[in-house]
Structure 1
Amino acid sequence: MAKYDIVIIGGAIMGSSAAYYLRKEGFSGSIALIERDPQFTHSATTLSAASIRQQFSIPQNIRLSQFTLGLFRRLKEEFGPDADIGFREGGYLILATDEGLPVLKANHDTQRAEGADIVLEDAAALAKRFSWLSTEGITAGAYGVSGEGWFDAHAYLHLFRKALRTMNVDLIAASVTGIERQGARVSAVTLDNGEKLEAGIVVNAAGPNAGKVAAMAGLGLPVEPRKRNVFVFEARDRYEDMPLTVDPSGVWWRPEGSVYIAGGAEVEEGEQAADPADFEPDWPLFENEIWPVLANRVPSFEAIKMTRAWAGHYDYNVLDHNAVIGPHPEVQNFLFANGFSGHGLQQAPAVGKALAELIVHGGYRSIDCSAFGYERVAEGRPFRELNVI
């Protein structure tokens, strides 16, 4: 039986970030990084819309994304002169009606207090700033002037995976089928190839599968997969100044090279966990829900052509749409990095560094993630993120 000081379950961006920063923080012990989908064909990382924002409702989420923004700004320094993830700083534009304005204002106050470059403008100012935008029914919008945008998720993940190959981390292609626990400690991980790995620490970075992984250790975690669709469409007009725009209905869209992508029409109320094997796009959503919103908000989008689509899964925290980070209070060598509900890709480096600091130094140093601890899950006490897209 192989022995590892740390076994990380999930080798996409969250697990890879944890392994990377463990080495950067000086951890010299053995690390196994387990990934069941080594081509990342069905990974939440590679099937996401690959965006980064500072427009959250709580300071801790803003800080996590700001850490990653800082990494983006010094990408070549961190990963070498050829490092490039195609980061386009196009901004987010979040629109609100009269009803949603108080929340938008409160969120904006929080964002500005954290130093985020976000402006809050009324409908008239927005119409002047963005000539393509119809502000019918809109009272105001929050726009990220800088520090928000989108990037290439595959290239982003590749940077971390490539770096790990020089950091003495064992990259194991397998599925975890069981976790052994002896009282207040997890002790081993069983793989689908029959191999068993003895583990000093286990990190759950299993994305949408995180709830099932926690259950293998006899631990409850309110995280389950929720399917999210992304539709690609062509339009005659190109708008170079178009940010990732979020309508009050929840529908969002943004430019993507020579085309556009859109999503956000899923109804969360009463929504059930997704079949983990279901990656078929919900095609009627585009024509029935998304296209009418696009045509209403961007008049020239009345004449567009949907060309393709894909579907991925959020690691959805049904308690409060927020991350669970850090050790289980009773099983302290089992650590969580789960439940990001759609913003894990942009926060993974910060979470990886935080967990590395916790393991190596015994506490958080860069960003205090205590508010994301499992204790609130055990108590049924939500720490709610209001700005989930």
Structure 2
Amino acid sequence: GCAIEWLSADQIADAYPPFAGPQIVGGTLGRLDGSVDPNAVLQGYRRKSIALGADFITGQVTSLNSDGGSIRGVTLASGETIRTGVVVNASGAWARDLLATVGIDLPVIPVMRHVHVVESPILSTGLPSAFLPSGLYLIPEHDGTWLMAWSQPDDPVGFDFSVHRHRFYDIIWPHLIEQLPAFDRLRVVGGWAGLYAVNTLDGNAILGEWPEMRGLYLANGFSGHGFQQCHAVGRYLAELILRQTPTLDLSRLGPRRILEGSPLFEHAGRII
């Protein structure tokens, strides 16, 4: 397992004073934890796949093509058709729209998530990331700069990438001060919005060949877990496509549960 230790509220206050608060009773600490740049990993995979002979095509897929229960290829916005017997739908928040072109209704919706760049008198250097039980998280960047975010049940649905700073001041900051009073002085200096591809059935990934469409493989609906799971998912799908025995059995995340309406829930106490 991971090297995790429990700290009492007093230990947190002594070691990391900004994370002390009247409602903090303790917390877990992973001293060996770190962070990863998802885009750097993506580019690494891209370079390696090119070195192994893969070709990359820049284009927008507007529809899938099928015949007799089997996938036959894709059509691009340019009008070009690419014929193939295997297609992997890894189109994130656009997965449902693309699958609809072959009559598949996937319960995946685009939900906006914000990350706010915040400046505070509290120097972030030497402090770990903090994840509160509510789901609000603080990631130290440098000097007094922090990344902060908190997903809400009423986060907008749709393809909207505008940044709503008022949601930080109206929703996140009051809760932050209540939990960690040291952050009573700060200002938002930037941020960005992106989309979670949320699986409305159970909030978990949908992986594998669609039971009613031979050759159509799904890697959809990660609901915010995508980068955590992508390394195993890529290997799993490659092994399925090559008809090899999977190194990891991820079949319980298969798409048949979507057709059957049988959700696979995580533990109810998950944080993020």
Q: Does the CA contact (< 8 Å) of 2:112 and 2:156 recur in 1?
A: no
Give the AA of the match of 1:381.
S
Cα separation, 2, equivalents of 1:382 and 1:143: 32
- Structure 1 residues 239-276: Cα deviation after superposition (integer angstroms, max 9, x where no partner): 44432222233221110133111011x4225x5522x2
Work out which of the residue numbers 44, 48, 73 in structure 2 matches 1:159: 44
- Structure 1 residues 191-239: Cα deviation after superposition (integer angstroms, max 9, x where no partner): 1011001111110110111111222222221111110001101122224
- Structure 1 residues 338-383: Cα deviation after superposition (integer angstroms, max 9, x where no partner): 1111121222121101111122243311x21111111111111111
Query: Gaps (5+ residues) in structure 1?
Result: 1-114
Are positions 1:383 and 2:267 aligned together? no
Are positions 1:338 and 2:206 aligned together? no
Give the AA of the match of 1:169.
A
Counterpart in the other structure of 2:9: 123
Are positions 1:312 and 2:194 aligned together? yes
Q: Does the CA contact (< 8 Å) of 2:134 and 2:271 recur in 1?
A: no
Work out which of the residue numbers 19, 23, 29 in structure 2 matches 1:143: 29
Higher RCO by CA contacts (8 Å cutoff, separation 6 or greater): 1
Query: Gaps (5+ residues) in structure 2?
Result: none
Higher mean alpha-carbon deviation, 217-226 vs 129-138, is at: 129-138
Cα separation, 1, equivalents of 2:81 and 2:46: 23
Q: Does the CA contact (< 8 Å) of 1:321 and 1:388 recur in 2?
A: no
Are positions 1:205 and 2:90 aligned together? yes
Counterpart in the other structure of 1:221: 106
Structure 2 counterparts to residues 158-307 of structure 1, below 5 A:
158-258=43-143, 259-264=145-150, 266-268=151-153, 273-274=157-158, 276=159, 278-307=160-189
The verdict on how the C-alpha distance between 1:298 and 1:241 changes in structure 2, with shifts beyond 3 A counting, is farther
Cα separation, 2, equivalents of 1:302 and 1:135: 12
Aligned residues: 269
Cα separation, 2, equivalents of 1:143 and 1:185: 49
Counterpart in the other structure of 1:8: none
Cα separation, 1, equivalents of 2:213 and 2:244: 16
TM-score, with structure 1 as normaliser: 0.65
Cα separation, 2, equivalents of 1:203 and 1:127: 49
Give the AA of the match of 2:157.
A
Q: Does the CA contact (< 8 Å) of 1:233 and 1:307 recur in 2?
A: yes
Counterpart in the other structure of 1:360: 242
Are positions 1:370 and 2:256 aligned together? no
Q: Does the CA contact (< 8 Å) of 1:243 and 1:254 recur in 2?
A: yes
Higher mean alpha-carbon deviation, 122-131 vs 248-257, is at: 122-131
1:329 Cα deviation from its structure 2 partner: 1.7
Counterpart in the other structure of 1:91: none
Cα separation, 1, equivalents of 2:126 and 2:264: 35
1:117 Cα deviation from its structure 2 partner: 2.5
Give the AA of the match of 1:340.
F
Q: CA RMSD in A?
A: 2.0
* Aligned-pair identity (%): 35
Cα separation, 2, equivalents of 1:149 and 1:292: 28
Cα separation, 2, equivalents of 1:388 and 1:204: 28
- Structure 1 residues 82-114: Cα deviation after superposition (integer angstroms, max 9, x where no partner): xxxxxxxxxxxxxxxxxxxxxxxxxxxxxxxxx
Q: Does the CA contact (< 8 Å) of 1:341 and 1:388 recur in 2?
A: no
**Secondary structure of residue in 1 paired with 2:57:** strand
